[in-house]
Chain A
Amino acid sequence: SQTIHQWPATLVQPVGSPLSLECTVEGTSNPNLYWYRQAAGRGLQLLFYSIGIDQISSEVPQNLSASRPQDRQFILSSKKLLLSDSGFYLCAWSVARVPLTDTQYFGPGTRLTVL
């Protein structure tokens, strides 16, 4: 069966420090991968999605970047964190071959607090 992992689970970082959040998927190949952010009191906002290695689309301009160095690994990064980067970051995957009907499966999330 497929599983999705995210780490770390929680992170507290000072403003201006770098960030690296990792997401890995097991049990499937060539998945679509997604990064979402859930800010307090707000819904999920799509940040990035990827349909393959080194194929990444950004949905909103921001201080963050994403990379997909391996088929089942998706990394969210920042060179210098801002206070506004605080939030709950969710990684998700879906089956690539049926894009119109694919259901997204979410990881456990990373709670990031920038102080």
Chain B
Amino acid sequence: AQSVSQHNHHVILSEAASLELGCNYSYGGTVNLFWYVQYPGQHLQLLLKYFSGDPLVKGIKGFEAEFIKSKFSFNLRKPSVQWSDTAEYFCAVKARVADTGRRALTFGSGTRLQVQP
């Protein structure tokens, strides 16, 4: 079964600092990759996703992620964070599993980002 690792559990940055959150998955086949974000008091919402094509994916609010197949990674980046980026970030993987009908996501444990003004 696939698994997702987010090694940074809690990250504290100052405004304007650059951000990179790590995400590694274990699955040898074709994957769809997602980053979700949960702002304080709000729903979990999609930040960006990768299905195929250009491995550098741009999402909302200036976020981007790069799929590196050889490293089984899908790290999230932002060149300059803002206080409003304070949230919890979840990486998720959906793998193509033939004939099982399994269509759900496997989530990482999340990274709590705190941006200090």
A-side residues, CB < 8 A to B, are 32, 34, 36, 41-46, 49, 51, 57, 59, 90, 94, 99-109
Residue of A with least CB distance to B45: A106
The segment from B14-22, B70-78, B79-87, B101-109 that touches chain A is B101-109
When distances are taken between beta carbons in the complex, the residues of chain B under 8 Å from A34 are 104
Given known A-B contacts A43-B107, A43-B109, A90 and B96 have beta carbons under 8 A apart: no
Question: Beyond the given A101-B51, A109-B44, could you list 17 further A-B residue pairs with CB under 8 A, ordered by the A residue number?
Answer: A34-B104, A36-B107, A43-B4, A43-B108, A44-B90, A45-B107, A46-B104, A46-B105, A51-B101, A90-B44, A100-B32, A100-B51, A100-B94, A104-B104, A106-B44, A107-B43, A108-B43
A38 CA / B102 CA spacing, docked (Å): 20
Residue of B with least CB distance to A48: B104
* Residue B67 is within 8 A (CB to CB) of chain A in the complex: no
- B90 & A102 in contact (Cβ 8 Å cutoff): no
A65 CA / B101 CA spacing, docked (Å): 19
A59 CA / B104 CA spacing, docked (Å): 10
- A49 & B46 in contact (Cβ 8 Å cutoff): no
When distances are taken between beta carbons in the complex, the residues of chain A under 8 Å from B108 are 43
